[in-house]
Amino acid sequence: MIRKIAIIASAMSCLTLGIISANGAGAAPAQHVLTEEGNVGVTFTQNFNPFNSNSLAAQMSIKSLTYEPLFEIDFLKANTSYPWLATSYKWTNGGRTITFTIRNGVKWSDGKPLTPADVAYTFNLIGQNPAANYSGVPQMTNAATVKGDTVSLNFASPAYQDITAIAGSTLIVPEHIWSKVINPAKAAITNPVGSGPYILKSYSSQLVSYKVNPKYWGGTPAATQVNIPSYSSNASATTALANGQLDWAGNDIANINSVFVSKNPKTNHYYFAGGNTVTLEFNVKYGALSDPIVRAAISAGINRSALASKGESGYETPATSSSGLILPNQSAFLAPSAKNDLLPTSSPTKVATLLSSDGYTKNASGMWTKNGQEISFNIEDPTAYSDYYADSQLIASSLQAVGINATVDGVQASQWYTDLAAGTFQSAIHWGAGGANPFQQYQNWLDYNTFVAPNPTNAAGDFGRYQSPGAEAAIKKLETTSPLDTAGVTSAVRTLGSILTNQVPVAPLLYGADWNVYSTAHFTGWVTAANPYMDPSPSDPALPIILMHLKVVK
């Protein structure tokens, strides 16, 4: 999910305008404009391609304003999903075949009907163009088939655990448009046609606007227009929020009670749901980072309490398990040996024990060295993401103190996305895939065959290029185990947790918040702790369901 999937920084505002008709004969329907800032530090380019992780729509997490999934899946509540472009699905053939019943009466924004053939075409496009498979759908054994109002997908092995990728993260596109697109993974799409609640109204390098899709199957959304402005940093977005210009934010906002809630406690709120595990992603092809013992030592040298209290303003808690499981959400899967095995503060003793056993000694400068080479790497994160940039500095400081030469490389957000996708980074802080099901997380961290092998410069997961037959086998084992087999699922999850513990392809840092700051001044119906009907952040693929829940305050 960028799924998030949770997006690091985003914000929204709304403005109610009364538009008077030109002839003065009467008032036109009121316009309710909602301004969404889907990310910060992104350089706007006119590209709304849902299959390209470097497109504006992907980086701003606004693909689902236009394109929609078959089901909306709630990452906060296990076994909770909502029929969307499909009304039902059924597994057969021992989990190797899934058949969707496609909703009748849906139209594309250009007026043509959305048919089961479009759904089949979308999955066939992904199957024929692996670089376009951003959601991680397993390879099909043959082309998707259509029978009446149903579409069937066939896989070589059981794909039960892939339901989120298949039904919840894959966005459906129209065949009559995309059959004419050359190289769908890289094409620039300037005028997107989709089934979603909004259609593109205008584009500039500073502002993108959407208007209501009059042909939307789900009815008329409360917001008649959605604006997406460009903000350079968390700080500028926070200023806009504090000034009352924005009222739905996905940012980590320091001192949120004083800068936002206190301005109007009746309308200004936040709900930071714990929905993912934030990690330090290692490029395992780079220098000393190729050594799992070095990676384990780096993990041991990090002061996670400082990250939580200083970098994340106390809104996120330190990770306590090297398994990467989201705790307490996924505690039922946790192996006893992985419970509380991550210390909250840096452990120089553990760092020394690990590196000494690996042949490292300290040089005259107090840095760990082997064969004349120091352990040296940088942590690349956007300067616009003020919390991650602060976390990077805190990590570098704690590692320097234990003799590991870590530095910080602050970059633009667009560069960060490009480097992650291409594997041209050394290390980076990144949010986890999240979800109630551990499969999404582990696949995102460990599945080289799904994310890297077919997408060497456009990977949507396994950014660090970790490749292991054992990990692939464990991923496949979990992927093919029925959710009804509780013992089997738990065993497979613990195998993957053990790989994360022992190989440390990523180092768990924090239990990440799904940022959600909102105002009820103009709209109600937001996701709240009392009503967690969806991941609350303003991000894909949750936008359609959240926007259709909103109601205008009268």
Q: At 319, which CATH number?
A: 3.10.105.10
- Give the pLDDT confidence score for residue 274 in this predicted structure: 81
Does 309 fall in a domain?
yes
Q: In 3-state terms, what secondary structure has residue 155? A: strand
- Enclosing H/E stretch for 443: helix 438-446
- Give the pLDDT confidence score for residue 72 in this predicted structure: 97
Q: In 3-state terms, what secondary structure has residue 415? A: helix
User: What's the mean pLDDT in 115-127?
Assistant: 97
pLDDT of 218-231, one tens digit each?
A: 999 999 999 998 98
Q: What is the CB neighbour count within 10 angstroms for residue 76?
A: 20
Residue ending a domain, choose from 124, 145, 178: 178
Q: What is the CB neighbour count within 10 angstroms for residue 182?
A: 6
HEC sequence for 292-318? HHHHHHHHHCCCHHHHHHHHCCCCCEE
Between strands 198-203 and 150-154, the pairing is unpaired
**What CATH number does the domain containing 84 carry?**
3.90.76.10
Does 214 fall in a domain?
yes
Residue ending a domain, choose from 150, 178, 206: 178
Whether residues 434 and 303 share a domain: the answer is yes
pLDDT of 41-70, one tens digit each?
A: 899 999 999 999 889 999 999 999 999 999
Whether residues 227 and 117 share a domain: the answer is no
- Give the pLDDT confidence score for residue 10 in this predicted structure: 30
Does 3 fall in a domain?
no
Q: Are 423 and 452 in contact (CB under 8 A)?
A: yes
Please state, rounded to an integer, the average pLDDT across all residues of the chain.
Answer: 91
Whether residues 172 and 232 share a domain: the answer is no
Give the separation between CA 278 and CA 140, rounded to whole angstroms.
Answer: 31
Q: Are 225 and 211 in contact (CB under 8 A)?
A: yes
Percent of the chain with pLDDT over 90: 77
Q: Are 457 and 422 in contact (CB under 8 A)?
A: yes
- Enclosing H/E stretch for 427: strand 427-430
- Token representation of residue 518: 């909102």
- Give the pLDDT confidence score for residue 236 in this predicted structure: 85
- Token representation of residue 162: 């892939």
Residue corresponding to tokens 């210009």: 245
**Closest among 526, 517, 531 to 551, alpha carbons compared:** 526
Whether residues 283 and 216 share a domain: the answer is no
Distances from the Cα of 26 to the Cαs of 33, 163, 222, in angstroms?
21, 51, 21
Between strands 551-552 and 273-282, the pairing is unpaired
Model confidence at 456, in pLDDT bands (50, 70, 90)?
very high
User: What's the mean pLDDT in 472-501?
Assistant: 94
Q: In 3-state terms, what secondary structure has residue 411? A: strand
Whether residues 379 and 484 share a domain: the answer is yes
Q: Are 79 and 70 in contact (CB under 8 A)?
A: no
Among 23-27, 374-378, 511-515, 517-521, the range of highest mean pLDDT: 374-378
- Give the pLDDT confidence score for residue 28 in this predicted structure: 53
Does 190 fall in a domain?
no
Cα atoms in the Cβ-side hemisphere of radius 13 Å centred on 171:
30
Residue ending a domain, choose from 498, 513, 528: 513
Model confidence at 133, in pLDDT bands (50, 70, 90)?
very high
Structural domain for 411, as ranges: 275-513
Whether residues 343 and 436 share a domain: the answer is yes
Whether residues 251 and 380 share a domain: the answer is no
pLDDT of 236-292, one tens digit each?
A: 888 887 787 877 888 778 888 998 899 889 999 999 988 899 999 999 999 999 999
Residue 497 has pLDDT above 60, yes or no: yes
Does 134 fall in a domain?
yes
Threshold 0.75, pTM exceeds: yes
Whether residues 33 and 99 share a domain: the answer is no
- Residues 205-212: contacts with CB within 8 Å, 24+ apart? 205/44, 205/230, 206/44, 206/230, 208/44, 208/56, 208/60, 208/62, 210/65, 210/66
Does 6 fall in a domain?
no
Residue 492 has pLDDT above 50, yes or no: yes
| The total number of structural domains that make up the chain | 3
Whether residues 423 and 466 share a domain: the answer is yes
Whether residues 165 and 206 share a domain: the answer is no
Between strands 31-37 and 225-229, the pairing is parallel
Residue 507 has pLDDT above 70, yes or no: yes
Does 396 fall in a domain?
yes
- Give the pLDDT confidence score for residue 76 in this predicted structure: 81
Give the separation between CA 499 and CA 380, rounded to whole angstroms.
Answer: 25
- Give the pLDDT confidence score for residue 241 in this predicted structure: 78
Does 46 fall in a domain?
yes
- Give the pLDDT confidence score for residue 29 in this predicted structure: 62
Q: Are 323 and 336 in contact (CB under 8 A)?
A: no
Residue 1 has pLDDT above 50, yes or no: no
**What CATH number does the domain containing 539 carry?**
3.40.190.10
Give the separation between CA 278 and CA 333, rounded to whole angstroms.
Answer: 18
Whether residues 310 and 350 share a domain: the answer is yes
Model confidence at 8, in pLDDT bands (50, 70, 90)?
very low
Q: Return the beta strands (E) in 129-196 as ranges.
A: 145-147, 150-154
Higher pLDDT, 441 or 21: 441
Whether residues 432 and 506 share a domain: the answer is yes
- Token representation of residue 165: 């990728």
Q: Return the beta strands (E) in 31-85 as ranges.
A: 31-37, 71-73, 81-83
